[in-house]
Structure 1
Amino acid sequence: MVRNIAIAALLPAAFASTLPKRDPCSVTDYSGLATAVSSCTNIVLNGFQVPTGKALDLSKLKDGATVTFKGKTTFATTADNDFDPIVISGNGITITGASGHVIDGNGPAYWDGEGSNNKDNPKPDHFIVVKKTTGNSKITNLNIQNWPVHCFDITGSSQLTISGLILDNRLGDKPNAKSGSLPAAHNSDGFDISSSDHVTLDNIHVYNQDDCVAVTSGTNIIVSNMYCSGGHGLSIGSVGGKSNNVVNGVQFLDSQIVNSENGCRIKSNSGTTGTIANVTYQNISLTNISKYGVDVQQDYLNGGPTGKPTNGVKISGIKFIKV
């Protein structure tokens, strides 16, 4: 009897030793994210839901880390204009996606046809914030859909390349119960770039209801091989009245803009100061543009033009080649 008891006591330990150890770098639940970010250089995010009030925080990645999205990543509703659902920072990092993955921003829970203009219905103003990302970092091969308002906010970054993305907000083209006759999604910029240097966007498809790309400040920006559908085209601005009001050295190259309100647009805010210099639009194909193929506007306001253009924002060195 004593011998049998001793053997039984050993069984739990023996069984536990045969169980596979959980890989802390392969995240299957939000609770494991912080540990993976702090300890791993090759992180896999395996399709989980991010809880209300919690961000998918990738702002403290190790130098050279790679993060791969797998499966479907979703986000519970957080009604807060200042909340950023995804935050990315790092040096020499790579953010990418495995075949078949989806990042879904839960846009239908927020959309009301007014975007960031309706403060009574708060919603995250930017879905993905990329800040202080440097050292030839890459964001590549991501499939993103249904973001609440603006999608990417790229700020304070340098030597960053973003390529091979699909941004699909077409579900917001149709009205919903909150938007009346208006498209449900609004202010749904694909990429907003500010205070950044040597940033490249290449080979990206954007389906949305506002600017495909908007550069409000920054230097040495290249935007190439874009396919922009449904929105307001490739834009500089609006510039003026912000903390940084200098745009210098932007190239929009070899891109298609289809089924959109505008094509190539430069916007400066009325009654403000700043600089827009050395901007080139080259080999840009425009198809089914409902308002302006080329628009240089010096009386811009979000709610509509003032009708009184001002020249406080100096514009020079602008080229339109084969547009």
Structure 2
Amino acid sequence: MMQNFLKAWKEACRTNGGVLLIPLGTYLVRDATFQGPCRGQTKVNLKGTLKATSDLTLDAGYWIGFSYVENLIIYGNGTFDGNGASAWGCKCQNCKLPISISFAFVRNSKVQDINSVNSKSFHMNIFASQNMTLDNVGISAPGNSPNTDGIHIGKSNNIRINNAHIGTGDDCIAMLDGSTNVNISRVSCGPGHGISIGSLGTNPQEKDVSSITVSNCTLTNTTNGLRIKTVAPSQPINVYNIRYQHIIMNNVQNPIIIDQHYCPSKNCPKAESSVQIKDVKYDDVRGSSATKIAVNFDCSRNKQCQDIHLSGVNLTFKGQPTTASCSSANIKFIGPKQTPSGCS
């Protein structure tokens, strides 16, 4: 069946305005790459369900890939089903589960009104892409499913995510190095690990992260809310011009957190991050925290967080005021009647 879809893609790709139609029904497929460049605008009308096999031996590391395509439109209320339950309990050594949908070197494109469920690993990975919009997408996997990030973004510019409903076993949205001009709005997140920048500083030659705006989002029962995470020790890069505004937290364990001492291994040296975090603004972040410490800035002693501003923050724990823990950070609480109102 996948060969038929690939053949239809080639025909659509050769035609300006060509359409690959995946009709109603469920189609069990192994893996495929839909590659350009195409002659003009190319559409994928997904009406049915593409379901992944249980095969883990995918050479490309993903199940469905779109690469080197410009003016791509994916729409149609259909579903990508990663068949993750067949792999989440995998006991194989050095086993790297495939990403469900990969976008690499994709430009001026839109993904609208589609669903991704039960990915084996990340649901969507956006890499080295520009000017992409994801609108009204639904992403879901059980809260205990491993590493099922909703949307992963790296080395990409001008990415917009609007009106998304994301519930996973890991980050709802993760922005890695080289993510710039990302606008996230009207996203509901939960379960999951929240909306994250990082991990950063792991590899040499990573790129700065800048101009990120997260607005009008709701996080419910997540392990983190708005998180910036860097490894320690780390490579030196910068994170700056970050804006969080009009955010609702519902029983979130770490509503506002900067963690510059993240170390995924069990034997971590006492080290500091070399990632500089500066110019981060939190405006109108309100709701309930699942912990007494609702604001936690654990910054690097080598590269202290600079120009961190909080205004209109109102976070409570079991109906009582929360506290803020601040280390190696230049922080200003701007305006009256904030909860917490300062660093403890």
**1:39-54 correspondence to structure 2 within 5 Å:** 39-40=11-12, 41-46=18-23, 47-52=25-30
Distance of 1:70 and 1:56 partners within structure 2: 18
**1:298-309 correspondence to structure 2 within 5 Å:** 298-303=260-265, 306=268, 308=270
Distance of 2:273 and 2:266 partners within structure 1: 18
- Confirm or deny: 8 A CA contact 2:56 2:98 kept in the other structure: no
Q: 1:45 to 1:303 in 2, by over 3 A?
A: farther
The one-letter code of the counterpart of 2:283 is I
Distance of 1:208 and 1:191 partners within structure 2: 10
> What is aligned with 1:261?
223
CA drift at 1:309 = 5.6
Distance of 2:102 and 2:122 partners within structure 1: 10
Q: 1:211 to 1:304 in 2, by over 3 A?
A: farther
The one-letter code of the counterpart of 1:60 is G
> What is aligned with 2:192?
231
CA drift at 1:31 = 2.3
* Structure whose CA Rg is larger: 1
For this pair of structures, how many residues does the alignment match? 273
The normalised TM-score by structure 2 is 0.74
**1:152-171 correspondence to structure 2 within 5 Å:** 152-169=124-141
Matched, 1:130 2:106: no
> What is aligned with 2:62?
84
1:222-243 per-residue CA deviation (whole Å, 9 max, x = no partner) reads 1111000011111111111234
Matched, 1:202 2:162: yes
The one-letter code of the counterpart of 2:107 is T
Matched, 1:59 2:35: yes
Q: What is the alpha-carbon root mean square deviation over aligned residues? A: 2.0
The normalised TM-score by structure 1 is 0.79
> What is aligned with 1:93?
72
- Confirm or deny: 8 A CA contact 1:94 1:139 kept in the other structure: yes
Counterpart secondary structure, 2:9 = helix
CA drift at 1:119 = 5.6
- Confirm or deny: 8 A CA contact 1:298 1:309 kept in the other structure: no
1:17-38 per-residue CA deviation (whole Å, 9 max, x = no partner) reads xxxxxxxxxxxx3221222111
Distance of 1:317 and 1:304 partners within structure 2: 32
Distance of 1:293 and 1:306 partners within structure 2: 25
The one-letter code of the counterpart of 2:65 is V
The one-letter code of the counterpart of 2:274 is G
CA drift at 1:142 = 0.6
- Confirm or deny: 8 A CA contact 2:5 2:20 kept in the other structure: no
The one-letter code of the counterpart of 1:244 is E
Distance of 1:311 and 1:83 partners within structure 2: 30
Q: 1:139 to 1:304 in 2, by over 3 A?
A: farther
- Confirm or deny: 8 A CA contact 1:299 1:305 kept in the other structure: no
CA drift at 1:305 = 9.8
- Counterpart of 1:317 (choices 279, 289, 302) is 279
> What is aligned with 2:46?
69
Percent identity of equivalent pairs:
24
CA drift at 1:244 = 2.3
> What is aligned with 1:17?
none
Distance of 2:120 and 2:72 partners within structure 1: 26
Distance of 1:265 and 1:69 partners within structure 2: 34
Distance of 1:92 and 1:71 partners within structure 2: 22
1:218-263 per-residue CA deviation (whole Å, 9 max, x = no partner) reads 2111111100001111111111123423101111111000011110
Counterpart secondary structure, 1:37 = helix
Counterpart secondary structure, 1:120 = coil
1:103-154 per-residue CA deviation (whole Å, 9 max, x = no partner) reads 2110010012x8xxx662735342111111112x101111111111111110
Query: Does 1 or 2 have the higher relative contact order (CA < 8 Å, sep 6+)?
Result: 1
Distance of 1:321 and 1:303 partners within structure 2: 34
Distance of 2:218 and 2:83 partners within structure 1: 28
Q: Which structure has the highest helix share of the two?
A: 1
CA drift at 1:60 = 2.4
The one-letter code of the counterpart of 2:83 is N
> What is aligned with 2:304?
none
Can you give the 5+ residue segments of structure 2 that lack an aligned partner in the other structure? Answer: 13-17, 286-344
Q: 1:304 to 1:294 in 2, by over 3 A?
A: farther
> What is aligned with 2:183?
222
